[in-house]
A = this chain, B = another copy of it.
Amino acid sequence: MKSKAIENTGKRISLQTVERLSVYRKVLEELHRNGVEYVYSHQLAELVHVGSAQLRRDLATFGSFGNISKGYPVHAMILTISKLLGTDTLQNVALFGAGNLGRALLYYRGFEERGFRIAVVFDVDPDKVGRVLAGRRCYHEQELEQVLPEFNVTIAVLACGPESLIGLAHRLSKAGVRGILNFVPKQLPELKGVYTENIDISAKMEKLSFLYHFGGF
């Protein structure tokens, strides 16, 4: 796997570790809600279906926080991981495309508790432009350059049509966006200084299909 690892306090944090950290935090939040204060590596590891050694190693990449006999402090770990992921403070996100998927994302209540807020919506459909959807004003995609700076957006979510996708990506890059989450099943160009992450739902199904047809069990 192409592993762009990041330099931290002398230790490198691989992207795979980062992905697991999201999961750890998610489960830790649940433990926290249940009043659990400390958790052992093997307990948490079992909850997230990961080896306990790997869990300890992941956590060790950004400094040790485990109490040697009580285990890991749940709440402190949540805060530490949040800070590492940059989600300790709310980030504004721009949504492109107010179709079925776009609106589903708009109405989803779960982003805020994970540190993200869809602040603006863009579309090309004249019927949608100018309207207010779930409290967010919908602008025309052409207005991107004027509107985006107002909202201090660093991440763009693409749930639009595939037509002008490439051009859009370049414009976003120029407009200062630093991350793109792309739901459109079409290849984006590589943009310098912008990290792009694809979510291809059909591809995930294909993976499941492969496993099923090959009897991967």
Contacts and interface: CB of A to CB of B under 8 A. Distances in A.
Contacts of A186: 26, 30
Interface centre among A48, A180, A199 (most CB of B within 10 A): A199
Contacts of A206: 18, 21-22, 85-87, 114-115
A108 B217 CA distance: 31
A207 B104 CA distance: 21
Interface residues of A, number: 70
A202 B21 CA distance: 12
Interface string A91-111: 101000001110111011011
A204 interface: yes
Nearest to A109: B100
A179 B211 contact: yes
| Closest CB pairs A-B (n = 5) | A179-B208, A86-B213, A100-B104, A22-B203, A114-B202
Interface stretch (A35-43, A142-150, A190-198): A190-198
Interface in A165-203: 178-181, 185-187, 190, 192-193, 195, 197, 199-203
A22 B103 contact: no
Given A185-B110, A187-B23, A115 B203 contact: no
B181 A23 contact: no
Nearest to A15: B207
